[in-house]
Amino acid sequence: MEIEKNAGLLERPDYPWRNGYRVQIAQRGGIMRIGIDVGNTGAVAFLNSKGECLGVEDMPLMPLNGKKSQVNAVELSRILERWKALSKEPILAFVEQVSAMPKQGVTAMFNFGMGYGIVQGVLAAQRIPYVLVRPEAWKKRAGLVKSPKDMARTKAQQLYPNVDLSLKKHIGRADALLIARFGSKE
């Protein structure tokens, strides 16, 4: 996958995400990176070109058939639009590349896949280039291979102490931060 050149973008083959594709970044000022942990417990994190956290927002949801919910495309679009307007840097999103998991029902996987598609569709509609990142890749970069799920929250708290990750349910925020950080050279 190659993201098209525009607005003074320059190829950087030395960046860590060379898994068969090249991504281009801005010549001046770097990029704002967006990390997206897909799913109902996911989140969207925003890092500036220095790797500093600008903000983290929980994945917006809307009701779907009773107790179930799905990603709210309109609200996600509004969130991304607001951050695009605030950014003075080009933007590149990193989306966790999810797949079916064992022991999950067909309906649950369909709804999860639907959310994954909504995220990609909203990014495309907002004209935000994105890279799909396998969980193994961002976890390896964060030093979390074969670690318990909650270790991502501990790592993110160490790296971003000003971000509220105090509750166990904030694991999606932590994942989104670490996914965004995957795109940096830090």
For residue 22, tell me if it sits in a domain. Answer: no
Alpha helices in 126-186 (DSSP H): 135-142, 151-159, 171-182
For residue 18, tell me if it sits in a domain. Answer: no
For residue 70, tell me if it sits in a domain. Answer: yes
pTM above 0.85, yes or no: no
For residue 23, tell me if it sits in a domain. Answer: no
What pLDDT does residue 23 have?
41
Domain that holds residue 63: 29-182
Looking up residue 172, the CATH number of its domain turns out to be: 3.30.420.140
- Domain total in the chain: 1
What pLDDT does residue 185 have?
63
In the numeric block, the tokens 């919910």 are attached to 69
What pLDDT does residue 137 have?
93
What pLDDT does residue 100 have?
67
Mean pLDDT by 10 residues, the chain (186 residues): 36 38 44 92 94 95 85 96 91 89 71 87 95 94 91 95 94 96 78
What pLDDT does residue 30 have?
80
Annotate 121-133 with b (16+ C-beta within 10 A) or e (fewer): ebbeebebbbbbb
d(CA 52, CA 163): 11
